[in-house]
Amino acid sequence: MDQVTALKGGHMRDASDSVGQTNKSFDELLSRNDLTDDQRKHLRAEAALGHAAALLVLRGQTAVAELLLEVKGAYIEWDPESQEEDLWLEVRPEHQSLFTEEITKQVRDTCVEVSNRRDYGVGWVGVREILPSVGPQWREQVRERISGKQQSNQARLVRVETPRYTEDSLAFTNSGELTVYRALKKIQETELPSDDTIGILPLPGGRVLGRTWEPDVVVTYRGRAGVLEIDGPHHNGRRALDTTREHLLRDVGVAFVDRIPVEVVSNPTELWASLLRFIKRLGETK
């Protein structure tokens, strides 16, 4: 399944759940003749957002660009009042307050500039909360969430729908995160003695200076905490943003930050070696 066919409920799935097309630009993808109108619209939304984030980094506005990493969905919708297409950026409730009027204006101006130059058709940009998916059993799901019976490792958007990837009463965003968790758990159980092993904390929401943060995995070992970030298949071109994020984590006392490339996640031998190396370096970090 590639990123132009991975539609779910009328919208394209999160990029981390798609495979293929990893190295193609948005221009190349939009030039395809086999796209539906919904697929083309979603690609235009993602393209406007991606170009804007890259442009903000190049302009030195990294703090604003970093916030765009918290956007979980970008959707173009027709506004009958203004007779133009609006770009809506959806974020988790705990992140919406970070998009102040000033920051939203910077994002809007940059996205509209990109849209005008690339002919994406966006005339206005707004930020709104993600609307949770619910079904006929929503009462039971909400009761379970309130009572603590549902997976609740994340300080993130309250999920009333059942998470797609779960294990050990923990929820994961995508299959790559679950794969890494399982490998870490196996190392925890088979490679290390019980009195000198690791703690594994997937997606633990928390606060760093100026923002709410959700590392992919926090690993504790020998009195130190390290962070593992797990690349999705569409991670290309985000290195400048990731470097800033790593600096923030180190500033709050995280001893070691490492990254697992997408090609390593899909190779069990390389993943095992990478995780053992990460744990070794974490234990040696001063």
Query: Measuring CA to CA, which residue among 156, 37, 166 is closest to residue 95?
Result: 156
| CATH class belonging to 7-129 | alpha beta
Inter-axis angle of helices 239-251 and 37-58, to 10 degrees?
Answer: 60
Domain with CATH 3.30.300 in the chain: 7-129
CATH number of this structure's domain 162-284, picked from the four choices 3.90.1690, 1.20.1740, 3.40.1350, 1.10.1060: 3.40.1350
Q: What is the CA radius of gyration of the chain?
A: 20
Domain with CATH 3.40.1350 in the chain: 162-284
CA–CA separation, 189 vs 195, rounded Å?
A: 11
Whether pLDDT at 107 is above 90: yes
> Mean per-residue pLDDT for 88-110?
90
CA distances from 110 to 2, 49, 54, 71, 196 (A): 28, 9, 10, 15, 50
Amino acid at the residue 207: R
pLDDT digits (tens, 9 = 90+) for 10-63: 333 333 333 344 457 888 888 888 888 888 999 999 999 999 999 999 999 998
pLDDT digits (tens, 9 = 90+) for 208-218: 777 667 788 99
